[in-house]
Amino acid sequence: MRVYLTGRVCVDAGSVLLDQRASPGRQGRLAFAYLAIEHRPVPREELADTLWGGAPPAAWDGALNALDSKLRAMLRRGGLGADALTAAAGCYELRLPPDTWLDIEAAASALHEAEATLRAGDHRAAWAAANVAYHIARRPLLPGEGGEWVERERERLRAVRVRATECFAASSLLNGEPQIGVALAEEVIAEEPFRESGYQLLMRAHAAVGNRGDALLAYERCRRVLAEELGADPSPETRALHLKLLGNER
């Protein structure tokens, strides 16, 4: 089973595809997503606060019971048993099959694999894993929805995206694709303009293409941004790379 919370919320159960139109409305979609992410028994009050933005209606208990019934019906249509959604001790818990693939978890797992294999020197494996993490994490999480928990999960996914983009850029350089590395490093800088590792990647990528001048300009961008916005100088690592590009390294 594959569960997608990025892009259009969707459950691919193999023979049955449940897209977000099959969910019992906006709150049903949010309830499913929250329970899928949490992987734990969620108290009814917590779920109500989540669904109604901290201000559940007076009749929230009955509304939650109705939503429970509709979610169970949806899960049955997807081929899951009656115990996929449990309600016990005042809590709800979504119990998907053990081998269920959840897109945001797959992105985080692929990122860890990419970073580990890159450190180990296997840049081809790193490129493949970073590619997976990058493309999942670029998709919008629960588009059109808001709330504190949605924003929290979006920030987590954004952090995965930034790290995956860096790893994708670094492995692209090692795989002899510096132009791709240039584009990806620019994405990192656009997302986090104070992240020096993004500038370091951009400098290396431009140098690998043969554009030494652009590599030096990338350093100047980094130096100017840090000075103007933070009153700081580039790190020793960034300065050492700059000296190497100038041909002044020892």
Residue 250 is predicted with a pLDDT of: 42
Helix (H, G, I), strand (E, B) or coil at 9: coil
Region 68-82 average pLDDT: 80
- Which of 67, 99, 131 marks a domain boundary? 99
- Which of 99, 116, 133 marks a domain boundary? 99
Helix (H, G, I), strand (E, B) or coil at 38: helix
* Residue 236 in this model has a pLDDT that exceeds 80: yes
Are 131 and 78 found together in one domain?
A: no
Higher pLDDT among residues 125 and 85, named by residue: 125
Print the domain residue range for 220.
102-246
Residues of the chain with pLDDT > 70, as a percent, come to 96
Q: How many domains does the chain have?
A: 2
Domain CATH code at residue 36: 1.10.10.10
Domain CATH code at residue 146: 1.25.40.10
* Residue 28: burial class (beta carbons within 10 Å; 0-12, 13-18, 19+): buried
The whole-chain average pLDDT of the chain stands at 91
Two structure tokens written together for 221: 């961008």
Cβ contacts of 227 within 8 Å, gap of 6 or more = 233
- Which of 77, 99, 121 marks a domain boundary? 99
Region 96-111 average pLDDT: 94
> CA 76 → CA 69, 135, 206, 241, distances in Å?
11, 30, 54, 58
Residue 83 is predicted with a pLDDT of: 80
Are 61 and 84 found together in one domain?
A: yes
Residue 82 is predicted with a pLDDT of: 66
Residue 97 is predicted with a pLDDT of: 86
Are 109 and 78 found together in one domain?
A: no
Cβ contacts of 157 within 8 Å, gap of 6 or more = 6, 104, 107, 137, 141
Are 177 and 240 found together in one domain?
A: yes
